[in-house]
Amino acid sequence: MEMSAAGSEQVRKLLQVARKQIQQGEREGALDTYRKALELDPGNQQIMERINIVEREIAAMEKFNRSRSSRAHSAGRNISSSGFVDDCIIRSDEAMEAGDSVRALQELERAKRHDPDNAMIKKKISYVRMIAKIDGLADMVRSRLKSGDPEFAVENIRRIFDSWPSAPVLEELLELAESYQGPTEGAAAGTATGTAAPAAPAAAERTAGTEPVKEKPSGRKTPRTGMPVTASRRAERDSGGKRIYAIMGVVVLLAAIIFAAIKLFGGKEPEPEVVVEPTEPFTETIVVPGIENVSVTLDDEPVDEVSDGVFVLSDTLFTQRMVTVSAPGYETMVWEPTFQEGVTGTDTLTLDTLGTSSLMVSFGYQMPEGEEDPGADAVTFMVDGEVIEGSSDTISTGQHVFQAMIEGYRTMPESVLVAEPEDFTHTHNVLAAQQSQITLQLAGDTPGNATFYIDGERVATGRRMSQVLPFGTYYLQVTMEEREGFAVTIDLDEEGYSRTVSLEEIAQNGTLMVGPEPWSNVYVDGTLVGTTPFGGVELEPGTYTVRLSNPDFQDDVRTVEITAGETTSIQYNAVALEEPDVVEDTLVTVEPVEELPISQPFPISQTTPSVPSQARARGDIHGYVTLSVLVGTDGTVQEVTIVSDPLGLGCGQAAMDAVRNWVFSPAMQGDQPVEVSTTVSVRFDIE
């Protein structure tokens, strides 16, 4: 039986509504709309397919929400997150065995970014930070003894003892302090020779009487030739015999304290958690003038912009750090300084535009599992559509397209943003029959790293993700803290899927709540925002003038401070109106009705909304639906429209159905009822 023209038009409108709901992220609502359309046109295969896709997306979202902490995955051939974490831990242990606590900490920080809830990683980081701190203080003790500053050296020995009373290096440092004979000739000449103990590599670069500088990275672009890490120099001291005897006395006293502590605690190693971190952070101000949308990260964590182009880094971790400065259309600047405790500095940076610098890119390829490697001679690599000689090429920074060509196999062209002027290697995936490739990368205006998901399973963390998968339908997500996520359903075929994703920053608003009794019209900075009882109003952080008005009471005017992410609640301070004095023989002027103020309507009979089946199935739903209601002169509801429905799942429709049955005390202008619109909020609490 053919559908009537009216029925076809209704189906078309329902499909339009469903598509709009999908764009707004209201997948449950879209699913209901598609089902209504299918009831009108039961044999429509297109609608059936859309219902299957939306059901798949909803299931993937539920799986994603229930397993955010899941770390293993099976999609594609990339190294799993758990495998990556294990590799990082192994490299960290190897670095510790080699005495390189800085590299060990870097590897653990990488593992933590992939597995932030791993208790073992957190404990290892705490331990390595303590070792790094002890090593840094020990280097400073050796340096100060060589440069003729034993008092400062003893000061740092005490700091080591406070952090770790049984630190193995204490015995060596005490021996150095006890055998101190004054500055060596090598030290006077500004070298590191002629000392009782070998100095660390970093110490060899220090000059007597100065604080250590932040080391510039090897092979990376630095913002300037020398980082400003000067500190106040200590005045030269006399080196008479009395001072030496005093220092020796302090050393002997310190040794006695250490012996007593070890005796008291049975010589047991303390847990790393007892480490007392330095209390005075470093502060580094970075200024990038004349460039919009600049982003700065410290160890991949975004740094807030305090004013236009000004960023302040401040922390109490004094190991080698990674600072990244980037902006859309400009090259990324990276350097790895080692900040010192209490040191303050400022750097003004200039970023080069993309295309300024050149670098070397080397190409590799990965064959499908079980396929024989045809050999490097059978592979041709292309950059921006041009065949290159061999497997490497010199390119400029900017956007490029890479591809590998192998006879009898397919590969996908890959668009890659090269922003950092540093040599790198790019590996191409060679595809088997019925396989294709998904590639997602963050846009230049999105700082930091994102987490990538396929069908609810985490597959990668970073700025770019590439996966080889069988043909089929997949649900892709990209998430990042404090930014709007990206989600899309794709049908993966031989054309593949590649996209650059820009994640917008989430606006952090606060909420103003007003007590329901007595009812009042709520004005914020002179604008009516609703009538109580209502679900509150979201406001940007700042200071507002709020006026609560009820014709039976005096207006309540106050100043309210709204804080991001917090709810500020106030109550109407209802003070009764004063009775006017009656004066005989007074001429009373009656204003025309149309010039009198209009009081707002308020509900006197309310119907509780029913719980939608989708919302009941999902559960744990709490919040408000805000509606605009046209109230007639008799107090009945004439029209209802949705202003805000953040809950979805049919809650908006349920709220409209309930409010249509409400009864209001109508708005009054003088003694005449008038028809006006008002705003009401309906709360849902579904367990």
pLDDT at 472 over 90: yes
Distance between CA 218 and CA 111 in Å, rounded? 23
| Rounded CA separation 507/519 (Å) | 30
Q: Rounded CA gap, 324 and 335, in Å?
A: 7
- CATH topology agreement for domains 5-66 and 362-501: no
Residue pointed to by tokens 């006399």: 238
pLDDT (mean) for 1-29:
74
CA dihedral in degrees (125, 129, 131, 137; nearest 10)? Answer: 180
Say how far apart CA 536 and CA 624 lie, in whole Å: 9
Q: Region 175-185: what's the mean pLDDT?
A: 72
Residue 674's pLDDT is what?
86
Q: Which CATH number fits domain 595-687: 2.60.40.1180, 3.30.2420.10, 3.40.50.720, 3.40.50.20?
A: 3.30.2420.10
More reliable by pLDDT, 298 or 136: 298
For residue 239, the model assigns a pLDDT of 41
Name residues whose C-beta falls within 8 Å of residue 590's C-beta, 6 or more positions apart in sequence: none
Among 103-107, 161-165, 313-317, 586-590, the range with the most confident prediction by mean pLDDT is 313-317
Kindly state the average pLDDT of the residues 95-116.
Answer: 76
Alpha-carbon Rg for the chain in angstroms:
35
Q: Where are the beta strands (DSSP E) in 356-496?
A: 358-366, 379-383, 386-387, 392-396, 398-406, 414-418, 424-429, 435-442, 450-454, 457-462, 464-470, 472-480, 483-492
The whole-number pLDDT of residue 101 equals: 73
pLDDT value of residue 285: 92
CA distance 627 to 566: 23
Which tokens in the block code for residue 320? Answer: 């080698």
Q: Does domain 282-348 have CATH number 3.40.50?
A: no
Domain 362-501, what fold?
Immunoglobulin-like (2.60.40)
CA distance 512 to 524: 10
pLDDT for position 568: 86
d(CA 679, CA 536): 11
> How much of the chain is helix, strand and coil, in % rounded to 5?
30, 30, 40
Q: What is the pLDDT of residues 332-368, one digit of tens each?
A: 998 888 888 888 989 899 999 999 999 999 999 888 8
Beta bridge partners of 295: 326
Query: In the numeric block, which tokens belong to residue 678?
Result: 């008002």
- Topology (CATH level 3) of domain 5-66: 1.25.40
Say what the pLDDT of residue 407 is.
Answer: 84
Q: If you average pLDDT over residues 521-549, what whole number do you get?
A: 86
How do strand 510-514 and strand 567-570 relate by DSSP bridges? Answer: parallel
Instruction: Name the packing angle between helices 169-178 and 241-264 (round to 10°).
Output: 160
Could you count the other beta carbons within 10 Å of the beta carbon of residue 587? Answer: 4
Confidence band of 469 (pLDDT split at 50, 70, 90): very high
Give the per-residue pLDDT at 571. 85
Joined tokens for residue 686: 């579904």
Ordered by start, the domain boundaries in the chain are 5-66, 124-225+239-274, 282-348, 362-501, 508-588, 595-687
Check residues 287 and 204 and name the one with the higher pLDDT.
Answer: 287
Amino acid 331: pLDDT: 93
Q: Give whole-number Cα distances, 265 to 44, 260, 638, in Å.
A: 79, 9, 80
Tell me how far apart the alpha carbons of residues 119 and 125 are, in angstroms, rounded to a whole number: 10
Which is nearest to 329 in space by CA: 307, 351, 359, 305?
351
pLDDT score of 201 = 36
Report pLDDT digits (tens) over 40-99.
Answer: 888 887 888 788 777 776 776 665 455 433 333 333 333 344 566 777 888 888 888 877
Contacts 24+ apart (CB under 8 A), 276-279: 276/162, 276/163, 277/129, 277/133, 277/316, 278/133, 278/316, 278/318, 278/341, 279/316
Phi, psi of 383 (to 5 degrees): -125, 120
Q: Which helix (H) or strand (E) holds 160?
A: helix 150-163
Name every residue whose Cβ is closer than 8 Å to that of residue 492 and which is 6 or more positions away in sequence: 436, 438, 469, 470, 471, 472, 473, 474
pLDDT confidence bin for 220, thresholds 50/70/90: very low
Element (H, E) at 679: strand 676-686
Report d(CA 144, CA 138) in Å as an integer: 10
Which of 442, 413, 440 lies closest to 328 in space, CA to CA?
442
Confidence of residue 233 (pLDDT cuts 50, 70, 90): very low
In the predicted model, what is the mean pLDDT of residues 410-415? Answer: 86
Pick the range with the lowest mean pLDDT from 139-153, 170-184, 255-269, 519-533. Answer: 255-269
Q: Are 598 and 674 in contact (CB under 8 A)?
A: yes
Q: How do residues 393-409 score in pLDDT, each as one tens digit? A: 999 999 899 999 888 88
- Confidence at 489, pLDDT banded by 50, 70, 90: very high
pLDDT (0 to 100) of residue 630: 92
pLDDT of residue 353: 92
Q: Which residue has the higher pLDDT, 149 or 201?
A: 149
Given strand 567-570, what is the order of strands in its sheet? 537-539, 510-514, 567-570
CA distance 70 to 538: 33
478 φ/ψ angles, rounded to the nearest 5 degrees: -130, 125
What count of other Cβ atoms lies within 10 Å of the Cβ of residue 173? 24
How much of the chain, in percent, has pLDDT values that exceed 90? 15
Q: Which of 86, 98, 30 is nearest to 58 (CA)?
A: 30
Dist. CA 437–CA 471, nearest whole Å: 9
Q: Are 390 and 408 in contact (CB under 8 A)?
A: no
Q: What is the pLDDT of residue 248?
A: 53
- Provide the mean pLDDT of the chain: 77
On the question of pLDDT at 213 being above 70, the answer is no
CB of 326 closer than 8 Å to CB of 333? yes
Alpha-carbon distance of 507 to 353, in angstroms, equals 29
For 638, phi and psi rounded to 5 degrees? -95, -40
Terminal-residue alpha carbon distance, the chain: 44
CATH superfamily of 508-588: Carboxypeptidase-like, regulatory domain (2.60.40.1120)
Residues in the chain: 687
Percent of the chain whose pLDDT exceeds 70: 76
pLDDT given for residue 146 in this prediction = 79
Predicted confidence band at 596 (pLDDT cuts at 50, 70, 90)? low
- Residue 244 in this model has a pLDDT that exceeds 50: no
Nearest to 357 by CA among 402, 399, 395, 400: 395
- Average pLDDT of the segment spanning 595-599: 69
